[in-house]
A and B are shown apart, each in its own frame.
Chain A
Amino acid sequence: MSDGASETGRRSVGLTALSVLSVSGFLGIWFAVAQSGLLPKMVLPSPWDVVTAFQHSLYTPFAGATMSQHLVASLGRFLSGFLLAVALGVPTGLLMGWFAPFRYAIAPFFETFRFIAPLAWVPFAALWFGTGIGGPILIVFSGSFAAAVINTFQGARMTDPRLIEACRTLGASPWRLIIDVLLPSATPSIIAGVRIAAALGWQSLIGAELIVASSGVGYLIVQGQGSVETPIVMAGMATIGVVGLLIDWALRLVELSVTRNWRGA
């Protein structure tokens, strides 16, 4: 018995080693190719160049502001659009899930607009808001809204009807049913929807900033492309990725803490 256990133990150690090797190998190859001069520097800067560019951007403005300032601008737009989408989307999803007439009324519009890619709103955003903050917020909203509604809707439908019946026999009023049964049972789906909405919103924001912005991390990398400063472009991309991850992790923590007690199996 110990043989089997130690063998799987050894195997997973081996696999982890392989992963570490893979990542270092990847970085190593990248470094070597960059150093060797096989590809021009503007195509493939070395990892070190990227790191330096990032550090540099922290105090020296690029494309009008430092990296931190760009980040703040981006996050501000993201949060506005995302929070608006959640604040409107979750109640909409709940109402659609609980009240059939509401669902029938809203569904045609929802299904039509849902398929329009967030970035397709860019022209209208440009028309209505110019390069003002309204544009990116609109696009973030259109990216996040559908996810919030759909997941909330599914959560609202998922309530075990037996629980509802049981609470009715205990004398629960409709209001109490909503607070103590319907809402808690929809919560896991709502949070899952919020996480997806955040991811989609962040992506839409970056896309929007590539086109209709004058600040922000998306704007930064597009300016970097314009002046062919590849290291800063890569540094920007990495930053975007890391921030996206952090947002997701933060939401995952929220999810765990809310559902920890009654998740069970």
Chain B
Amino acid sequence: MSGIIFSEVTRTFKRDKGGDYVALQPISLQIPDGEFVAIVGPSGCGKTTLLRMVAGLDSPSSGALTVGGREVSGPGPDRAVVFQQFALLPWKTVRENIGFGLKCRGMRAAAIRPLVDHYLTMMQLEAHADAYPHQLSGGMQQRVAIARSFILEPSVLLMDEPFGALDAQTRIEMQEELVKLTKAKPRTVLFITHSVEEATYLADRVVVMAGRPGSILEIVDVASLRRSESWNDRAVEEVMELESFTRIRTRLWRLLRTVDRSADGRKTPQLSIAS
């Protein structure tokens, strides 16, 4: 229903002064329905480009990209995006921001209101329902952004370093909340982050990318460990102390380091199960 399939997708940009810049070498990746995939990699490796293509804000130069079996033809509420800088409308209240997507759909104000109230409660924003974004902290603004996306019941959730602008404490709280939300209603998630810990804690699989031009270095499976050791039932601090967690995290770190020093060359994706 909402699986994402990349088939030999490339992206080339034209430089201002002439010539081409290859952002992505042929990428092939299959993300089944409901899977949480994190993408890590150095700056400029093309991970944001990948996300934008799924969102419909950009399109492949070659290759095919399908979501739920259909080709992507533009942005839409079925593939909600949460941005690092929140992108809330400054001239609308929290309530109006959350309900914006529903308004675009043509829903009447009376029908929108109870839905927005539900999400206000869920994200603990009731006290700020009529405040304006500039009056809220970063964490609260991101909650509004997430509520704005979730209220549309998207089948795919695209998150581009959503917690990057938050302080460390808020970040961890948001990670826990995200786990709760996706546990309640599993959906396909593409999550970009620089933080290896964050990727390990949240994802079923972590895709490590190499950069310039972008390609997939390796894919690390986390889901099996999460299930066997019941990470979801433990608090964040507990999980981070587990040996299995540390091993995966270190492995990801090592991969990222080799990326910085490696030469160009196609790297075939390898699925490895961290044992």
Determine if A257 is an interface residue (Cβ-Cβ < 8 Å).
no
Which A residues from 167 to 184 make CB contacts under 8 A with B? 167-173, 176, 180-181, 184
Q: Which of B98-106, B198-206, B231-239 contacts A (4 or more CB under 8 A)?
A: B98-106
**CB nearest to A166 among chain B residues:** B87
Determine if A7 is an interface residue (Cβ-Cβ < 8 Å).
no
Q: Which of B80, B85, B103, B132 is the one whose CB lies under 8 Å from A169?
A: B80
Interface size class of B (residues with CB under 8 A): 20 to 34
List, sorted by A's number, 8 A–B pairs whose CB atoms are closer than 8 Å: A165-B57, A165-B75, A169-B76, A171-B104, A171-B105, A171-B152, A180-B100, A181-B89
Are A165 and B87 in contact, with the CB atoms below 8 A? yes
Are A168 and B132 in contact, with the CB atoms below 8 A? no
Interface size class of A (residues with CB under 8 A): 20 to 34
Which A residues from 132 to 169 make CB contacts under 8 A with B? 160, 162-163, 165-169
* Chain B residues in the interface with A (C-beta under 8 A): 55-57, 74-77, 79-81, 83, 85, 87, 89-92, 100-101, 103-105, 132-135, 148-149, 152
The A-B contact count (CB < 8 A) is 70
- Given known pairs A262-B134, A264-B134, A264-B135, the reply for A168 and B57 (CB within 8 Å) is yes
Are A169 and B100 in contact, with the CB atoms below 8 A? no
A1 to B133, CA, bound (A): 35
**CB nearest to A168 among chain B residues:** B75
A26 to B104, CA, bound (A): 62
A166 to B57, CA, bound (A): 10
Residues of B within 8 A of A176 (CB): 103-104
Determine if A261 is an interface residue (Cβ-Cβ < 8 Å).
yes
Are A262 and B90 in contact, with the CB atoms below 8 A? yes
CB distance from B159 to the nearest CB of A (A): 12
Given A169-B77, A181-B89, 13 additional A-B pairs, CB 8 A: A162-B85, A163-B87, A169-B56, A169-B81, A170-B148, A171-B75, A173-B104, A176-B103, A176-B104, A180-B89, A180-B100, A262-B134, A264-B133
Residues of A within 8 A of B79 (CB): 169
Residues of A within 8 A of B148 (CB): 170
Residues of A within 8 A of B132 (CB): 261-262, 264
A173 to B101, CA, bound (A): 11
